Structure 1
Amino acid sequence: MLNKISKIHVFTIAISSFLTACGDGGDNTQSSNFTPTTISGTAVDFYLKNADIKFDDCENTSIKTDANGHFSFTTTAACSESALTITGGIDIGTNLPFTGTLKFKKMDLKNLKNGTLVVSPLTSLEYFLEKAGQSNQLNTILKNLALNNINNISQFDPAKDGDAHTMAVVFIFQQLATQIEDRLQTINKDNGSTVFTQEQAAQITFDALISQLSTQPLFTAGSAKIDSEVLKSIVNKAIEIAKAQMNDPNNTIDPTFTDQVSSNIIAVSTAIDSIAQNGGTGANLLAELQKNPSLLETITETLKSPVYSDFFLANYDIAAIKASSETHPLHINSKNLSDTLAVQFKLANAKSELDDTVTLAFKLNGGNSAYHENLNIIFNNIQVKFNNQGSIVSAKILKNTVINVSSSSRKIQQLQFSVPEDTVISSNGKIFLNDLIPINSYINTLPIGSLVQVTVYIIPSAYTINPQLNLSQEKITIGNLTLKGSALTAYFKLS
C-alpha cells in the first residue's frame, strides 16, 4: 500500500465553477449594504482539474476547479476576506494527481484588481513568508529565483505573463516543494499514523526553502538548471526541521530522502531547461513540452514517487481478493490456510534499490454456524529490501522485535514474545510470517467448510500505498497496542 503518489504540477488554472455563497446563502448572512462580487481565479502548476479550493477563513466553504482548471466564486458578507488553500485534483498536463499545496494569503477578495487572482507557487511563497513575519524577504528570494520583474504576484500567471525561463523556474520550484512535502508525509509513527499532516509538511517545506533562498540563488546563472549544492542544502534543512518537530527517535526518516529528491529535481530541471533555452513565452514552453511526448514522459516518470502496488495474499492477487465475499469465497485447503500470513507486494517507480520498514497485521475470523474462533497478530519492524524493479529481494525481522498475538482459542489466547535473533522471513519475493507464531493451533480448531475472513493491514514507513488500490483505513487492537493502516479483506472457504 500506499497513501499517496508523486506530484507534477501544471502551470495555470483559469476560472469557472460557481459558488453562490461562502456563508449559508440566506438573507440573514447579507448585510443591508453589502454588494456581492464575483471573483475569477487561476491555479498554477499546469492546469488542475477537480482540485479542491478551501476558503481558510470562511467556515466549511470550498469549491472545485472545473475540467479546464477554472473556478469562480461570489463573495458574501460572511465571506469576503480569506486565505485560500488548493489541494488535490489532476494535473491535466501530465494526467497525474496533484499532491502538493498551493496557498494564497488572506486578502479582501471583493476589492481584487480586475476581480481576478492567480494561485501559484509564488503566492504560496508569499503566504509562508507573511506567516513567518518575513515579508521583507520576498524580493530577495525572487531575485535568488531569477524572477526579478514581477510586480504583483497575486495577478501573475507564469504561462501567460512570463517568458519560457520564468515558467520553467516556477515549475521546477513547485516540483521541489512537492517532492519534499510528499516524502515528509511518508513518515509514520509507531502506531501507523502519519507524523505530519499535509499542512504541516507544506509549512516545513517552505520554512526550509525560505531559510536557504534568502541567502543564495537556486539556479545556475542564465538557466533553469538547479544548483545541486543549494538543492541539497534545502532538502537537508527540511529534514533538520522535521526531526526537531518530531522530537522522537522512534520516528525514522528514510536515509535516501535527500538523494532521491535531489536526483529527481536535477533530472527534471535539466529536461525543462533544454526547452526553456529556446526562448519564447511561458505558453511556448508548455506547447513545446506537449509536443515532445518522450521528454514529457521522462519528466513525469522522474517525478513519480515509489508506491506500494501489486499486492498478493495466499497467492491470490488483489483483484481476486476484492472480488471475494461471504457468498463467493476463495477456496483454500486447510493445510494451506497458513499461507494467509504470506504476502507479496512491489514498489512501483522504484528506479533504484530501496529499503523500508513495514508493519503487517492480520485478523482471522473463522468458523461455521455452530463454531467460531478469531486470531489477531501484529508483526512490527519488518525490514524489507527492494531491487530497482521494485520486487522484494529480502525481508527480515530484527532481534528483540515484539510480536503481539491474541485469539479466542484457549490454546493461544493472548501472547507477546520477542524474536530471539534476526530472522529471515522472505523467499522468492514473498514474505512468510506463518512460522513465527503457532498458527496451526488456530487452524486445527476450524472444521472443514469453515468460512474464514482474513483482513491484512499494511503500514509502511518510508513509502506510501498507491491510492488507486482503494484500500480502506482501519484499526487493529491487541491489548494496549492499537495500529491503523491500509486494510484489505479476503474471504476463504476451507476445503
Structure 2
Amino acid sequence: MLTKISKIHVFTIAISSFLTACGDGSDNTESSNFTPTPINGTAVDFYLKNADIKFDDCENKFIKTDTKGNFSFTTTAACNESALTITGGIDIGTNLPFTGTLKFKKMDLKNLKNGTLVVSPLTSLEYYLEKAGQSGQLDKILTNLGLSNINNISQFDPAKDGDAHTMAVVFIFQQLATQIEDRLQTINKSDGSTAFTQEQAAQITFDTLISQLSTQPLFTANSAKIDSAVLKNIINKAIDNAKAKMNDSNIIIDTTFTDQISSNIIAVSTAIANIAQNGGTSANLLSELQKNPDVLETITENLKSPIYNDLFLANYDIAAIKASSATNPLNINLANLNNTLAVQFKLANTKSELNDTVALAFKLEGSKGSYRENLSINNIQVKFNNQGSIISAKIPKNTIINISSSFKNIQQFQFSVPQDLVINSNGNISVNYLIQSHGALKDYYNNYINKLPTGSLIQVTAYILPSTYTINPQLNLAQETVTIGTSTFKSSALTGYFKLN
C-alpha cells in the first residue's frame, strides 16, 4: 500500500518548543554545566513532510518534520542521547502516505558532526544491523545494493547528495520494506487483534532484508531494476520468519501476497530505473518524475495496498444500509429474506488473484427483537480475482459453527462442518448455503422466519473480520466485539434495518 517521505530544508523550533518534545527545561536532571546544542535533521524516502519523529530514549517524546521534510531541536540534559523512529507523514515525491518506518541508531546527539543528521532507509539498515550485532556487514550490504563511497550514513542525504541511480535504489529499497511491513501488520489473530505491531513488523522485515542482502545483490548489475528471483526469496523468507515469530498454527498467512508485492515492486523498479538510467543527480530524478505524470501514476498505483473498499448487505450498498433505521427501514419480502444473511465485499488495488480468510457473524432480530437468531463462522476462505471480485468462498471441513437463538429448544449449540462447503454465488457470500446444508439448522431457521408476520421490523448486523487485508477506514464502520457461543472476536460491523412486506 504505499509510500514514504522526506525532507530538504530546516525550520527552527524555539528551545521552549523542543523542551516540550524532548524533556522539560525545568527537569531536575538539567545540569548547570550542560550546554544545549541545536540540531538540524532531514527525513528521506523522498522527503517526508509532517512525519512523526519519536525520541526512543527520551520518554517517547515527539516532534514533526516540516513541509519540506526538515526538523530542528535542541538537546537538553534529559534528552541528548537517543535513537530516533520516524513514521507517518506524506512522501513529497509520490504524495502518498508514508506507512513504513525509518530508524536512526542511538547516538550522542550533542556531538553530531556539524549538528546535522539524516534519517533514511540507509540509517534504518544501520540501526537494525547494530541491533543484531552485525554492524560489520554494513559495507557488504551497501555493495549488494549497488551503493558505494558513502562514508558517513548519518550525514548522507540520498535526495541531495546522491546521483539519480543512488536515489532510485534507496527509494525502491524502502518501498520493498514498506510493502512487506504493511502486509505483516494486516495479519490478525483469531480474536481480531493484530499479530504484529508496526515495530515488530519492521523488525521482521529488516532482519529478512539483512539476511538476504548479506549474501546476494538486490538489483541487476549497474541498474536500479530489481532482481525478481531475489525479490521473491526475500518476501517468502519474511513470511517464514513471521510464521516462526507467531508460533500459532491457527493463524493463516496468505502467501498470495508474494505475487502482489513482487508485481508492485517490479513495476515501480522498472519505471524509476528507466528514468535513473539517464543519469544526473537525485534532484534530476525527482524533477523528471514530476514531469512524467504517467510514470508517476504507475509508481503510485503500484504502491497502494489491497484494501476492502466496497461492501453490500442483502444486495444493498453501504450507503443504503447506513441510511436505514428503525423508522426508515429498507423493504424486503419473505422470498428475499435469506439475502439478509448475504454479504459482498471487494478488494481495491489488486494486481493478481488473492486469498483471504474471513471471520463472519450475523445477528438477526425480528418483530422488535422478540425473535433472535445469531450465527458465527470463524473460517471462510475467500479467493478474489485480479480485479478484486469474489470468485470463490468456502467453509473448510471441520470448521466449528456457533449458533444462538431465542427458541427455547435451541438457545445455543455448535456443530462441525463435515466437508468443505461452497457458500458463494454471483460474488456474494451467503450463509443460507450453510443453513440449507444442515437439517436441524434449516428447520430452526425456517421456524424463525415463519414466525415473522408481514410488517415485521428486522434488524441485521453483519460482523466482518478479514485476516490479511484491511477494510478501508473511510467506510467508517463501527468496531464491535461479537460473542456467539464460544466464538468471540472484534471486527467491523454494519447494521441494516428491513421491513418485511
Residue 366 to residue 218, structure 1, CA distance change in 2 (3 Å): same
Residue 130 to residue 412, structure 1, CA distance change in 2 (3 Å): same
CA drift at 1:61: 1.6
Q: For 1:285-300, list aligned pairs within 5 A.
A: 285-300=285-300
Q: For 1:134-213, list aligned pairs within 5 A.
A: 134-213=134-213
Give the 3-state SS of the residue equivalent to 1:161 in structure 2.
coil
**Match of 1:486, as an amino acid?**
S
CA drift at 1:466: 2.2
Q: For 1:278-357, list aligned pairs within 5 A.
A: 278-326=278-326, 328-333=328-333, 336-357=336-357
Contact persistence 2:43–2:119 (CA under 8 A): yes
Are residues 1:382 and 2:380 paired?
A: yes
39-48 or 25-34: which moved more? 25-34
CA drift at 1:175: 1.0
Tell me, in whole angstroms, the C-alpha distance in 1 between the residues paired with 2:5 and 2:294.
Answer: 17
**1:262-306 Cα shifts (integer Å, max 9, x gaps):** 232222211111011111110110110111111111112222222
Are residues 1:8 and 2:3 paired?
A: yes
Count of residue pairs brought into register by the alignment:
488
Tell me, in whole angstroms, the C-alpha distance in 1 between the residues paired with 2:410 and 2:110.
Answer: 67
245-254 or 156-165: which moved more? 245-254
Query: Partner residue of 1:22?
Result: 21
Query: Partner residue of 1:398?
Result: 396
Residue 338 to residue 67, structure 1, CA distance change in 2 (3 Å): farther
Tell me, in whole angstroms, the C-alpha distance in 2 between the residues paired with 1:203 and 1:76.
Answer: 29
**Match of 1:314, as an amino acid?**
A
Tell me, in whole angstroms, the C-alpha distance in 2 between the residues paired with 1:275 and 1:21.
Answer: 43
Contact persistence 2:276–2:285 (CA under 8 A): yes
Residue 318 to residue 71, structure 1, CA distance change in 2 (3 Å): farther
Query: Partner residue of 1:454?
Result: 460
Tell me, in whole angstroms, the C-alpha distance in 2 between the residues paired with 1:178 and 1:143.
Answer: 21
Tell me, in whole angstroms, the C-alpha distance in 2 between the residues paired with 1:66 and 1:450.
Answer: 57
Contact persistence 1:48–1:68 (CA under 8 A): yes
TM-score of the superposed pair, with normalisation by structure 2: 0.89
Tell me, in whole angstroms, the C-alpha distance in 2 between the residues paired with 1:267 and 1:64.
Answer: 32
Are residues 1:425 and 2:420 paired?
A: no
Residue 28 to residue 102, structure 1, CA distance change in 2 (3 Å): closer
**Match of 1:396, as an amino acid?**
K
Percent identity between matched residues is 75
Query: Partner residue of 1:485?
Result: 491
Tell me, in whole angstroms, the C-alpha distance in 1 between the residues paired with 2:68 and 2:250.
Answer: 44
Residue 235 to residue 387, structure 1, CA distance change in 2 (3 Å): closer
Q: Which runs of 5 or more residues in structure 2 are unaligned?
A: 436-443
CA drift at 1:83: 1.4
Contact persistence 1:329–1:492 (CA under 8 A): yes
Are residues 1:476 and 2:478 paired?
A: no
Contact persistence 2:7–2:47 (CA under 8 A): yes
Query: Partner residue of 2:438?
Result: none
**1:12-52 Cα shifts (integer Å, max 9, x gaps):** 46544754423563624462424444433221112333322
Tell me, in whole angstroms, the C-alpha distance in 2 between the residues paired with 1:71 and 1:488.
Answer: 42
Query: Partner residue of 1:69?
Result: 69
CA drift at 1:184: 1.9
CA drift at 1:120: 0.9
Residue 329 to residue 111, structure 1, CA distance change in 2 (3 Å): farther
Tell me, in whole angstroms, the C-alpha distance in 2 between the residues paired with 1:95 and 1:65.
Answer: 15
**1:368-400 Cα shifts (integer Å, max 9, x gaps):** 3xx644433211221222222111122222222
Tell me, in whole angstroms, the C-alpha distance in 1 between the residues paired with 2:372 and 2:316.
Answer: 22
Contact persistence 1:53–1:85 (CA under 8 A): yes
Query: Partner residue of 2:50?
Result: 50
* Cα RMSD, aligned residues only: 2.5
Q: With CA pairs under 8 Å and 6+ residues apart, which has the higher RCO, 1 or 2?
A: 1
382-391 or 284-293: which moved more? 382-391
Tell me, in whole angstroms, the C-alpha distance in 2 between the residues paired with 1:38 and 1:7.
Answer: 33
Contact persistence 1:338–1:440 (CA under 8 A): no
Tell me, in whole angstroms, the C-alpha distance in 2 between the residues paired with 1:14 and 1:457.
Answer: 47
**1:43-82 Cα shifts (integer Å, max 9, x gaps):** 1112333322222222242233344433333433332222
Give the 3-state SS of the residue equivalent to 2:362 in structure 1.
strand
CA drift at 1:311: 0.6
Tell me, in whole angstroms, the C-alpha distance in 2 between the residues paired with 1:392 and 1:432.
Answer: 12
CA drift at 1:134: 0.7
TM-score of the superposed pair, with normalisation by structure 1: 0.90
Tell me, in whole angstroms, the C-alpha distance in 1 between the residues paired with 2:20 and 2:112.
Answer: 17
CA drift at 1:342: 0.7
